Amino acid sequence: MRTSIRFALAALIAALIGAHAVLADSAPPQKQLKAYALPGSTRSADISPNEQSVVTVGTRQWDLATSEKKTVVQLWNFKEAKQLAEFTTPQSEVRVAAKGYVLDRSRTEPMVRFSPDGNTVVALIDRTIHLLRATDLTELRAFALDAPDDATRTSLTGRIVVHQPSVRAMELSPDGEVLAVLSVSNMIHGRIQLYDFSSGKRTLTWDTPIGWLNSQGLVWSHSGKLLLIAIANESRCSSPGSGPDIFAFDAQTGSMKNKIRTGLLAGSIAVGSDNRVLAVDHGCLGVFKNRHPKLKIFDFATGKHLRSISSREASARYAVSASADGSRFLAFTGKMAVEFDWSDAVPYDQVVDETFSVWSLANYEGVVTSQNIPGLKESGLSLSSKGKYAVSYGKASFVYELP
């Protein structure tokens, strides 16, 4: 009896060691990546399809005497830290609330994207789309976005609060013909508008299901026939609800084609070149929950859960991105710890380090994990078209060269 128990224990230990070895082999090795610095004021950035340049947008103090600020779009040869072109526009006036109302002044953050063919830069500045020639940032044309209706509510004190919609996401279709814009008011009311890229005319509008919306939660399918959006079904520090949190819409009609329940508080998603959709959690750490969430991969045609992935004894959360050619994907994999505020009796997130990891989309093998990058958690993060570079913007603004 004792002999059989020893054999059973030995087999179990061998299995555990083997499983650990498989995990260790698939975990992306950590390396010191070469990083090219972007301007410290960068609030959005995108790498060109040929991966030779990067476009950034930020705010600059233009006149010290009047405190006038302008939004600046800049084109860079990032390897040589050489500015190639610049486009500027003044900031719009801040809207004033009507008498008796309180205005939620959440501003639309500026955004920049290259068109899929690399010939045009799309810059969103104060609800106006500027189409710029990619070689020198000369403005080709501009059009204003149609503003969705304000959302109003009555506060506990009886005051009427007006929530002005802000644009949270802007993405071009894979063929470069349609621009999708997500506007959000009061954090939970979303509206998607589609614009014809050549004319600037709005072609379709629909409201999204009620839920918590994130700026990295809107993506096109590779075919351009579907728009997918992540809408968390509970607030950030709650447990995931039982409802769906990824929705796929027909880009021709706006009708819902499919929905998936991930079991996460989905905040960021990406798509593969087939029917795969990748999702990561955006929730708070808890004392006994959400300590090490994994990146989850689903078939968005069937909703089937295909795989879960994590890295370096940490989790994959906050941000996920896939290269346009379908070769690689990345996610934030920094180590997070939970601390407890005894005065308020609530837990809170504590950053241990901030890294991202890259995997192959073909076989899920780990490619690389970055060095610690202070500020990465609070930054945007994406992969270049061919997966050879990554870019972060915000508190940490860099282009990273990948092996």
Please give the Cα distance from 334 to 336 (Å, whole number): 6
Mean pLDDT score across all residues of the chain: 84
Closest CA to 353 of 373, 324, 331: 373
pLDDT value at residue 151: 62
For the 28-401 domain, the top CATH level (class) is mainly beta
Give the model's pLDDT for residue 87: 97
pLDDT at 11: 38
Whole-number pLDDT of residue 22: 34
Whole-number Å distance between alpha carbons of 388 and 371: 17
Q: What is the pLDDT of residue 66?
A: 53
Distance CA 184, CA 365 (A): 37
pTM for this structure?
A: 0.85
pLDDT digit string (tens) for 374-397? 999 999 999 999 999 999 999 999
Kindly provide the residue ranges of all beta strands, DSSP E only, lying in 138-188, ordered along the sequence: 139-144, 151-154, 160-163, 166-172, 178-185
Phi, psi of 22 (to 5 degrees): -65, -45
Identify the DSSP state of 377.
G
Please check whether residue 296 is in contact with residue 328, taking contact to mean a CB–CB distance below 8 angstroms: no
Q: Which residues make Cβ contacts (< 8 Å) with residue 114, sequence separation at least 6? A: 46, 47, 48, 49, 55, 120, 121, 122, 134
pLDDT of the residue at 15: 37
The 8-class DSSP code of residue 292 comes to S
pLDDT recorded at residue 103: 40
Q: Say whether pLDDT at 63 is over 70.
A: no
- Residue type (1 letter), 22: V
Rounded to whole angstroms, the Cα distance separating 255 from 219 reads 16
Confidence of residue 173 (pLDDT cuts 50, 70, 90): very high
Instruction: Give percent above pLDDT 90 in the chain.
Output: 62
| pLDDT digit string, tens, across residues 278-304 | 999 988 776 545 557 899 999 998 999
Over residues 207-227, mean pLDDT = 91
Average pLDDT over residues 355-363: 96
Q: Is the pLDDT of residue 81 over 70?
A: yes
Domain boundary assignment for the chain: 28-401
337 forms beta bridges with: 350
Per-residue confidence (pLDDT) for residue 68, from 0 to 100 = 67
Torsion of CA 75, 78, 82, 86, to 10 degrees: 10
Highest mean pLDDT of the ranges 5-14, 168-177, 206-215, 307-316: 168-177
Amino acid (one-letter) located at 198: S
Q: Determine how many CB atoms are found less than 10 A away from the CB of residue 64.
A: 7
Give yes or no for residue 262 having a pLDDT over 50: yes
* pLDDT at residue 185, rounded to an integer: 83
Average pLDDT over residues 204-219: 90
Helix (H) or strand (E) holding 194: strand 189-196
pLDDT of residue 186: 77
Give the residue-averaged pLDDT of 241-268: 94
- The pLDDT tens digits for 187-203 are 788 999 999 998 999 99
Q: How far apart are CA 151 and CA 339, in angstroms?
A: 36
Cα 327 to Cα 49, 149, 307, 367, distances in angstroms: 14, 40, 17, 11
Q: pLDDT confidence of 112, banded at 50, 70, 90? A: very high
Phi, psi of 66 (to 5 degrees): -105, -5
For the cut 70, the answer to whether the pLDDT of residue 35 exceeds it is: yes
Q: Which residue has the higher pLDDT, 338 or 20?
A: 338
Q: pLDDT-based confidence at 64, cuts 50/70/90?
A: low
